[in-house]
Chain A
Amino acid sequence: MKVLVPVKRVVDYTVRVRPRSDGSDVDIANLKMSMNPFDEIAMEEAVRLREAGVATEVVAVSIGPAASQDTLRTALAFGADRALLLETEESLAPVVISRALAAVVGEESPDLVLMGKQAIDDDCNQTAQMLAARLGWGQGTFACRLEMGDGEVIVTREVDGGTRIVALKLPAVVSTDLRLNEPRYIKLPNIMKAKKKPLDRRPLDSLGVDTRSGIRMVSVAEPPARKPGVRVADVGELLDKLKNEAQVI
């Protein structure tokens, strides 16, 4: 079984991002970048399937600037067998990314696509579902448990009221939630090994997909600030403030 894992290079989750002074976009120059945390979980799950002998090959793919090579080297250090970078300097909407990934799936013919449920930069939560729809495949979104069955994958999904289990015919797309696994700590020998693994770089144009979309971001702003709070000394003062000042109890 072949597993394809799309990964995205994003601003590290510990970094607070702010708008540029002209409000045209966010200012991410010189910020620490990492693999999207949800994609790390997808990568970890794919590698576990490989180690369990269920998957025979794990391929990581990223669509982004040249620096996304770093993200793919991380994927290789996790244990991916090879990686593919489709280079573009443009910031593309999920509708376009899903078009490109569908073309990659056409070339690679994986049995399973495992990917993060959302990127923590644009918070869209769209790409996995869009990819599944374009391919005419089933989808298991927000997975917290995954089990391979006979010609199908059984996915436990985190939903608003609790959890729900669905069985998907293979091939399928699964998007990962936080509790699917805890990604491993990558050891130095694996980082060294990753440097020798194949990483193919091609321009995104080579896929021949239309990169236009109907959506664009026109400006960004800080969210409205809350007024500064106060420290209360004890429960009595807290109750008094909630009742008489805030009037919420």
Chain B
Amino acid sequence: MTVLVVAEHDHRHLADVTRRTVSAALALGDAVDVLVAGQDCQAVGEAAAALEGVSRVLLCDDPTYAYQLAEPLAELVISLASDYSAVLAAATTQGKDFMPRVAARLDVAQVSDITGIEGPTTFERPIYAGNVMARVICEDPIRVITVRPTAFDPVGEGGSASIETVPAAQDPGLSRFVEESLTESERPELGAARVVVSGGRGVGSAEGFQLLESLADELNAAIGASRAAVDAGFVPNDYQVGQTGKVVAPELYIAVGISGAIQHWAGMKDSKVVVAINLDEEAPMVQMADYALVGDLFEVLPALRDGLRTLKS
């Protein structure tokens, strides 16, 4: 069976989540094509063609896709879908946005956020904030699937797929882009970082997060947050880890002042090692972490940072 992966990118770079989605696609089918739709996105097409296991790259370089709006992007995928047994995209805010449109127009189900592939029609996915894992069977003629990136390793390079140009689909003209405000950061991307330092309500303020920043500097870590910290305005929304925010699975997750509601746990429970730093020894995060340190984060974090510096030198 042939699988189509819809690539995610910023028109210049192929996103890491797409390498992971291709890995899921290779577990599902014997041939994998990648669709790159964007504006001036030739470099992304070339990056996709270099991925291990990719047979063909379909490149649609057109201003219609400059902002990756769901309505025109879905139209393009629908125009190509009949050649495939499955269409995959990462379960990011972009994949979640346009993929259900594809499924509905094909009048097929979507399998959201899969974490495992047991066969061509059998998938594993979390439900109830990951407290339960469900096995689902989808027997629709075209399986429309979003993939939880952290559940699959990225594919390597060394491929040499052909790049074919495909025409743009008609823009339904239902929405227009107004503006975007993206968080600028020198840090690794939250979803792909090896270490994540994450703060909750206990951090107390935006200033408190500076302590997390200085610890993160030592670890080359990304910064995350609980819903409570985002709602309190300590950090922007795109820092949120949890059931409905970002899902992360780093080697090391340091939860600072996070009580550990199940909705937060859902977003980081697949981390290899979890450290809790909390004043409250009854906090669920302290109970669930691999290593828990009960103490005042305003003393612990600077000491931890200094200790890491000493270890390095």
Q: 1/0 per position for A108-142, CB-CB distance to B under 8 A?
A: 00000000011011111111111111101111111
Q: Is the CB of A215 within 8 A of B136?
A: yes
Residues from chain B with a CB closer than 8 A to the CB of A98 are: 104
In the complex, A127→B177 CA distance in Å? 22
Q: Is the CB of A160 within 8 A of B93?
A: yes
User: Looking at the complex, which one of A16, A18, A136, A214 makes contact with B108 (CB distance below 8 Å)?
Assistant: A214
Q: Is the CB of A249 within 8 A of B219?
A: yes
The 11 listed contacts between A and B (C-beta, < 8 Å) are A16-B131, A123-B126, A125-B100, A131-B104, A160-B92, A160-B94, A167-B176, A168-B175, A213-B140, A230-B291, A235-B293
Residues from chain B with a CB closer than 8 A to the CB of A136 are: 172, 174
Looking at the assembled complex, report how far the CB atom of B69 sits from the nearest CB atom of chain A, in whole angstroms: 7
Q: Is the CB of A124 within 8 A of B112?
A: yes
In the complex, A142→B237 CA distance in Å? 11
Q: Is the CB of B133 within 8 A of A160?
A: no
Residues from chain B with a CB closer than 8 A to the CB of A234 are: 293, 295
Cβ of A159 < 8 Å from any Cβ of B? yes
In the complex, A218→B141 CA distance in Å? 19
| B24-32, B33-41, B156-164, B179-187 - the one binding chain A | B179-187
Contact (A158, B175) CB under 8 Å given A17-B132, A217-B136, A239-B304: no
Q: Is the CB of A242 within 8 A of B252?
A: yes
Q: Is the CB of A220 within 8 A of B131?
A: no
In the complex, A17→B136 CA distance in Å? 18
| B50-58, B81-89, B243-251 - the one binding chain A | B243-251
| Residues 190-249 of A contacting B (Cβ, < 8 Å) | 213-223, 226-227, 229-232, 234-236, 238-239, 241-243, 246, 248-249
Residues from chain B with a CB closer than 8 A to the CB of A230 are: 290-292
Q: Is the CB of B112 within 8 A of A126?
A: yes
Q: Is the CB of B303 within 8 A of A139?
A: no
Contact (A120, B307) CB under 8 Å given A94-B110, A214-B109: no
Cβ of B130 < 8 Å from any Cβ of A? yes
User: Looking at the complex, which one of A130, A137, A229, A236 makes contact with B291 (CB distance below 8 Å)?
Assistant: A229
Cβ of B97 < 8 Å from any Cβ of A? yes
Residues from chain A with a CB closer than 8 A to the CB of B43 are: none
In the complex, A11→B141 CA distance in Å? 32
In the complex, A136→B72 CA distance in Å? 11
Q: Provide the main secondary structure of the chain B interface.
A: mixed
Contact (A117, B244) CB under 8 Å given A133-B100, A166-B69, A229-B288: yes
Q: Which residue of A lies closest to B8 (CB)?
A: A160
In the complex, A38→B108 CA distance in Å? 25
Residues from chain B with a CB closer than 8 A to the CB of A167 are: 175-176, 178
In the complex, A129→B161 CA distance in Å? 32
Cβ of B153 < 8 Å from any Cβ of A? no
Q: Is the CB of A248 within 8 A of B272?
A: yes
Contact (A231, B93) CB under 8 Å given A154-B178, A214-B108: no
Q: Is the CB of A218 within 8 A of B136?
A: yes
Contact (A159, B94) CB under 8 Å given A139-B70, A215-B138, A222-B133: yes
Q: Is the CB of A231 within 8 A of B294?
A: yes
Residues from chain A with a CB closer than 8 A to the CB of B96 are: 125, 129, 141-142
Cβ of A2 < 8 Å from any Cβ of B? no
| Residues 271-313 of B contacting A (Cβ, < 8 Å) | 272-275, 286-295, 300, 303-304, 307-308, 311
Q: Is the CB of A138 within 8 A of B181?
A: no
In the complex, A86→B69 CA distance in Å? 33
Residues from chain B with a CB closer than 8 A to the CB of A178 are: 227, 231, 244
Q: Is the CB of A11 within 8 A of B128?
A: yes
Cβ of B61 < 8 Å from any Cβ of A? no
Contact (A18, B132) CB under 8 Å given A160-B246, A161-B183, A235-B303: yes
Cβ of A105 < 8 Å from any Cβ of B? no
Q: Which residue of A lies closest to B174 (CB)?
A: A138
User: Looking at the complex, which one of A16, A130, A166, A169 makes contact with B177 (CB distance below 8 Å)?
Assistant: A166
Residues from chain B with a CB closer than 8 A to the CB of A19 are: 132
Residues from chain B with a CB closer than 8 A to the CB of A214 are: 108-109, 138-141
In the complex, A226→B263 CA distance in Å? 17
Contact (A239, B131) CB under 8 Å given A159-B238, A229-B291: no
Cβ of B230 < 8 Å from any Cβ of A? yes
Cβ of A32 < 8 Å from any Cβ of B? no
The 4 tightest CB contacts between A and B, nearest first, are A138-B174, A214-B140, A129-B100, A130-B104
Residues from chain B with a CB closer than 8 A to the CB of A243 are: 311
